[in-house]
Amino acid sequence: MIRHIVAWKFKEYAGGASAMENAMELKKQLEALRRGNLPGLVSMNVQLNCQRDEMEEATEPIIYDVVMDSVFSDGQALEAYKDHPAHKKMAEFCESVRLSRAAVDLIVD
């Protein structure tokens, strides 16, 4: 199995919406993907950073707004997810409103 974890940091204001509004829109799009019964998707959890405002005062320069933690049955399932039209639409949205993105793929037993 492959664990695919992605975090996004949004621009304060982009696409006519605030960072929090864009974070909620991304969460909505990812949850729709999860409900779409994608072959090979074992699990997906999408969460918003609940302490964004307090953490902006911290010394760390990047505080992420949304984290997705997903598990796929194998590498082929992860690639199929990346090629899915709904994922491509979501990625296009993110590209226009995000400041940064971090991702990691892990092999899990």
Reported as a single tens digit per residue, the pLDDT across 30-47 is 999 888 878 999 999 999
The pLDDT of residue 79:
96
CA pseudo-torsion sign 30, 35, 40, 43: positive
d(CA 50, CA 5): 18
Give the per-residue pLDDT at 36. Answer: 80
Residue of 51 and 8 predicted with greater confidence: 8
Domain 2-107: CATH architecture, name and number where available: 2-Layer Sandwich (3.30)
The per-residue pLDDT for 53 is 58
Packing angle of the helix pair 85-97, 19-35 (nearest 10 deg): 170
Q: For 52-90, write each residue's pLDDT tens digit.
A: 655 555 556 568 999 999 999 999 999 999 999 999 999
